[in-house]
Structure 1
Amino acid sequence: MSFSLDTPSIQTLKSEAKAYRDERARTGEPITHGAALESIAKAHGYRDWNTARAMLPERVASPVQVGHRVKGTYLGQNFRGLVIGVQLLSDMQHYQVTIKFDEPVDVVTSELFSAFRQRVTATVGINGVSPAHTSNGQPQLRLSRE
């Protein structure tokens, strides 16, 4: 079975169920944890919690993993490198990725001086593109697996 990057993980559904249960408790209509799981599973189109549990991945999809070889652009400069760190951020939509470049990348566009970087840490979405942009509107980092 394959999953798209939009497929929620079991952890995502569990978090939604906890939030739903907390909300119901605040409104004076408490429900059990099991009832919250069932409601969330049905809201996502599954027959029941057991069906959702059996069909969904355990982990959240990640654009890259530690040890992957990657290529892309950083501040407009092409690079190839090795992923040496990946951390899922609290919004469950972005990752902090640390890359060790094969060759240092000059991150300055001026002809008067240079500034080389061998290693960078940046935030990317599931698509491997940074939500932060440079002054010319391009993403700070774009990466893909080699």
Structure 2
Amino acid sequence: MIRKILEHLPQTDCGMCGMTCADFAGFLLSGDLSPQDCPGLQEEAYSARRADLAALLESLAARAKSGHLIDPDKCTGCGICLIVCEYHVANDPESRRGKGPAKDAKVVLRIVNGRVVLADETLCTRLLQAADKCSKCQDHCPTQAIVLI
């Protein structure tokens, strides 16, 4: 996902913001910075990129209330995230046995066309106020395809 954000930045590593464009992209993804914090991006030559970046960041913010950002380009469909998910382990017998969830199981994550997708993020334990913020899917993803913000 950082690569997609980076495509919309000037990619000059000018340092006017105090960091590289790649580092800046990471802060945009986490929501700690906004496009307005990049002086180079404010130049007229980058107006189209600025608009595209705003649309991308808006869609990312709307996509995952639970904080899941899934990069389909990095996902290999290995299914490790399904097996370590706290909700799956607690509520799906197949997941407790180290298998993927059954087709009709209510689950947070599911493999579709060889890639992980959010099936029902409202089930994610990250949304429970009293819960510690689980990060097992991110922590165990071998390709870093899942980023939790």
> After TM superposition, is the score higher than 0.5?
no
Q: Which has the higher strand share?
A: 1
Higher relative contact order (CA closer than 8 Å, sequence separation 6+)? 2
Taking structure 2 as the reference length, what is the TM-score of the superposition?
0.29
Larger radius of gyration: 1
Relative to the length of structure 1, the TM-score reads 0.30
